[in-house]
């Protein structure tokens, strides 16, 4: 086996912060282009290398090439069996596994597609998989996919959905010497924040995986001057929801949770959406419209800024089952969001399996252990190498 920790250190030493991956991808393209058993295609800063051997099944192995900006950890450093450096866990260790498989397995059990895509660590609209989907969807084709995100060499199945809301609470300005003449929008935050803080996590079990939903206030903006009653406050809310709910159901849940504490315009109160149990409704959400005095300063507004759909576990696919069974792998739920959801939307069952600890990703002490990367490589090589 090649020294995978040293190979990962070589990748870490090549900067590839989001939107600045081009030089790194140039190097990958050169490396993979030298391999006669692979067809290599580049679309922007996304690189795809694949076999075309006529196998009955095709396995996609994918990972993103970008990292977050370094935080005093730009230089790769190996200390014993630990590699330190930005992107070592998220996810140049996973890329090193894919690169070494591409180099060494020339006659695989399945046709293989290796996808190295750009700009995963930034807003979803920039994700390189969008570019591939729009320009060369044929390059994404496969029977199932493995995403090399850091999972500590375990299977993290599916992923939770993510949804961001912006709540604008209305008020009316007044002098702080005569606050009764206005309405303090900041004070109106109290019941909203209390409702969010009191939320008890829903924990559904799906195919043996326990997911844990969450809702958090993540930022607040408001205030005019030191002697002015504020007339507006903007609160941003982040909701993680389990894959047994649709985006519509998740949105309905948040609206119903906040309804007693906000005052929407009458045309915003009535909706025809899915309830959290999947039933249709066409009735008041419960949000109060209030009389003119109660909503002094105007109505509130609750909008969805963006959302990423959840992905159900896909561990019933024979290739993924074989990976788990042959290596006696633990299967857990993915509580965050990953691009397995994008493959799921394309009809490709996908799971997360990669080296590195996700809890140190993006941190100043980001690191990768030798045992983790060697375990992942051994499992994947055994999966794709013919007996």
* CA gap 179, 228 in Å, rounded: 8
Q: In which element (H, E) is residue 10 found?
A: helix 4-12
Distances (CA, A) of 197 to 109, 138, 190, 194, 335: 51, 46, 10, 5, 19
Q: How far apart are alpha carbons 187 and 170 in whole angstroms?
A: 11
Q: Which two tokens stand for residue 235?
A: 């609160």
Comparing CA positions, the residue from 102, 114, 118 lying closest to residue 139 is 114
Active-site annotation holds for 256? no
Report the DSSP beta bridge partners of residue 240.
Answer: 162, 214
Q: Please pick, among 21, 111, 120, 374, the residue that the annotation labels catalytic.
A: 120
Catalytic residue among 21, 45, 66, 357: 66
**Nearest Cα residue to 312 out of 214, 226, 383, 209:** 209
120 is catalytic: yes
With tokens 């496969």, the residue in question is 142
Signed CA dihedral, 87, 93, 94, 96: sign only: positive
Which residue, chain included where needed, has tokens 């005093």?
A: 72
Using a CB cutoff of 8 Å and minimum separation of 24, what contacts does 16-19 make? 16/65, 16/66, 16/67, 16/87, 17/66, 17/67, 17/68, 17/69, 17/70, 18/66, 18/67, 18/68, 18/118, 18/119, 18/120, 18/121, 18/122, 18/126, 19/66, 19/119, 19/122, 19/126
d(CA 186, CA 115): 48
Active site residues: 66, 120
């Amino acid at each position: 086996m090649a020294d995978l920790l040293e190979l990962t250190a070589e990748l870490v030493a090549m900067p590839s912060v989001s939107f600045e991956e081009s030089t790194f991808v140039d190097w990958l393209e050169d490396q993979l282009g030298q391999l006669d058993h692979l067809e290599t295609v580049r679309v922007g800063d996304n690189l795809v290398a694949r076999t075309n051997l006529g196998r009955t099944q095709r396995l996609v192995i994918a990972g993103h090439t970008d990292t977050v900006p370094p935080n005093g950890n730009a230089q790769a450093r190996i200390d014993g069996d630990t590699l330190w450096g930005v992107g070592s866990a998220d996810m140049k260790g996973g890329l090193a596994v894919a690169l070494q498989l591409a180099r060494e397995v020339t006659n695989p059990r399945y046709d293989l597609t290796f996808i190295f895509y750009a700009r995963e660590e930034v807003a979803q609209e920039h994700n390189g998989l969008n570019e591939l989907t729009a320009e060369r969807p044929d390059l994404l084709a496969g029977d199932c996919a493995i995403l090399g995100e850091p999972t500590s060499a375990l299977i993290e199945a599916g992923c939770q959905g993510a949804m961001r809301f912006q709540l604008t609470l209305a008020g009316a300005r007044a002098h702080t010497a005569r606050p009764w003449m206005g309405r303090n929008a900041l004070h109106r935050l109290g019941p909203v924040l209390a409702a969010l803080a009191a939320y008890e996590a829903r924990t559904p079990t799906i195919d043996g995986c326990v997911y844990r939903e969450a809702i958090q206030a993540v930022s607040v903006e408001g205030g005019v001057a030191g002697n002015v009653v504020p007339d507006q406050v903007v609160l941003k809310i982040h909701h993680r929801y389990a894959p047994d709910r649709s985006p519509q159901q998740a949105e309905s849940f948040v609206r119903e949770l906040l309804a007693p504490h906000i005052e929407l315009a009458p045309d915003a109160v009535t909706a025809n959406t899915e309830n959290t149990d999947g039933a249709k409704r066409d009735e008041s959400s419960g949000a109060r419209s209030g009389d003119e005095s109660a909503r002094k300063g105007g109505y509130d507004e609750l909008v969805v800024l963006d959302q990423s759909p959840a992905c159900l576990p896909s561990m019933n696919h024979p290739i993924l089952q074989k990976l788990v069974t042959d290596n006696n792998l633990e299967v857990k739920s993915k509580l965050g969001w990953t691009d397995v959801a994008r493959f799921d939307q394309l009809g490709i069952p996908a799971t997360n399996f990669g080296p590195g600890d996700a809890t140190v990703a993006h941190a100043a002490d980001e690191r990768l252990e030798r045992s983790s990367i060697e375990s992942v490589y051994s499992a994947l090589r055994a999966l794709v190498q013919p007996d």
